[in-house]
Structure 1
Amino acid sequence: MGHWLLAFVSAFGAVFLLELPDKTTALTLVLSNRFRSRPVLAGATVAFALQAVISVALGSAITLLPERLVAAAIAVLFGVSAVLLLRESLAADPDDADAAASSRANTPYLRAAAISFGTLFITEWGDASQVTAIGVAARYANPIAVGLGTFLALMSVTVLALLVGRKLRSRVPAHFIQRGAAAVFGVFALLAAWEVFA
């Protein structure tokens, strides 16, 4: 039991600390600005469950990919996301908060959940938390504990971001949140590009 608990705590603690200031938080804030919280949470639950299973089960496959290839893909993904968010925030009418709220309320549940799933699932590929889960799984050889710890850490960060997103939505105009997220994504793109060329 002690070995299982140590593997669980190691996975949870490492992934939680890595993800708290990471792109998952920023992306969840953006998703919570666009959609209601429940479908975002549902999409995140499925995405992170799959990511935890894949990280633990196929961990060695990720380590075989060239680091530069993974970093380049991440740089492009975040660069494009930053540009799209910035463009959308500049095109948005600051007085159009009612329309944004209406759009958020009118987006079908399954569509919002599917978009949340796809976005979060793809952005976690090659992420530090995924590599960490792979390393913890290899060290402790306890896939259930590591998978559960990884999943619960990712979900904890997501729930925190959804709660913060709800508070921000009522106090900060959507275009400011989008511009902030675009800046964060731009930084992530630059950091990933640095890994490619460093």
Structure 2
Amino acid sequence: MSLTAAAATFLAVLPAELPDKTILACLILSSRYRPSAVFGGAALAFMTQVVIAVAAGGALSLLPHHIVEACAAAAFLAGAVVLWRQKAEKDDEDDDTGRDGMRSGFWPVFGTAFAVVFLAEFGDLTQFLTVSLAARFHDPIAVGIGATLGLWVAAACAVTLGWRLLKLIPMHWLTRGAAVVMVILAGTSAYAAAN
């Protein structure tokens, strides 16, 4: 297992996930339900999505090296453009941060968080990023660990810090930072494809 691949994946996935809709979903759910149940459901959903993405990346790695690197560079660059052009959206529910009194047990909240995050993460930027990194590094375990940890840290920030995260770090900074990381990854993939 390559620590470099795990670290690179973690550093790419974390800033890409922080401004994502699934993290906003975790913020909203944890403002209404038990944070441990929300985190548990979100964590399992993220891990499941990473397994799917790493398997898809492993299949891509069977293609010739130059084709995989060129496709990864294109995916990274497209992701960077999408992130850079993404406007900071204000959530209409910012004023609705109080708990609504609808108390459910651990498992119903866990299941709701799992379903919301799992469905929202399908075809998401970080899933495509994980697929590309798995194909690029040819180390599915390292990429899977890095991606899972990045997603879990993002979910933990959302659940633990709640709405304070968005007050401390402006959404556009998170988005721009993720775009810069993706441009760097696109450049390194393009360089690898050319050699």
TM range (shorter): 0.5 to 0.7
What SS does the corresponding residue of 1:132 show, helix, strand or coil?
A: helix
What SS does the corresponding residue of 1:136 show, helix, strand or coil?
A: helix
Question: Matches of residues 1-198 of structure 1 in structure 2 within 5 Å?
Answer: 4-59=2-57, 97=98, 100=100, 102-103=101-102, 106-165=103-162
Maintained 8 Å contact 2:43/2:155: no
Aligned residue pairs, count = 137
**Superposition deviation, residue 166 in structure 1:** 6.8
Task: Write the letter of the residue equivalent to 1:19.
Answer: E
Q: Partners of 1:43 and 1:123 in 2: how far apart?
A: 13
Q: Partners of 1:167 and 1:39 in 2: how far apart?
A: 20
**Superposition deviation, residue 24 in structure 1:** 2.1
- Cα deviation digits, residues 164-195 of structure 1 (max 9, x gap): 22759xxxxxxxxxxxxxxxxxxxxxxxxxxx
- Cα deviation digits, residues 69-119 of structure 1 (max 9, x gap): xxxxxxxxxxxxxxxx96xx6xx9x8xx57x1x32xx21110000000000
Q: Partners of 1:167 and 1:133 in 2: how far apart?
A: 28
Gaps (5+ residues) in structure 2? 61-90, 166-195
TM-score normalised to structure 2 length: 0.62
Q: Partners of 2:163 and 2:33 in 1: how far apart?
A: 11
Maintained 8 Å contact 1:32/1:166: no
Q: Partners of 1:44 and 1:17 in 2: how far apart?
A: 17
Q: Partners of 1:17 and 1:167 in 2: how far apart?
A: 17
Query: Which structure dedicates a bigger proportion of its chain to helix?
Result: 1
- Shift of the 166–22 alpha-carbon distance from structure 1 to 2, 3 Å rule, reads closer
What SS does the corresponding residue of 1:119 show, helix, strand or coil?
A: helix
Seq. identity, %: 36
TM-score normalised to structure 1 length: 0.61
Which residue of structure 2 aligns with residue 191 of structure 1?
Answer: none
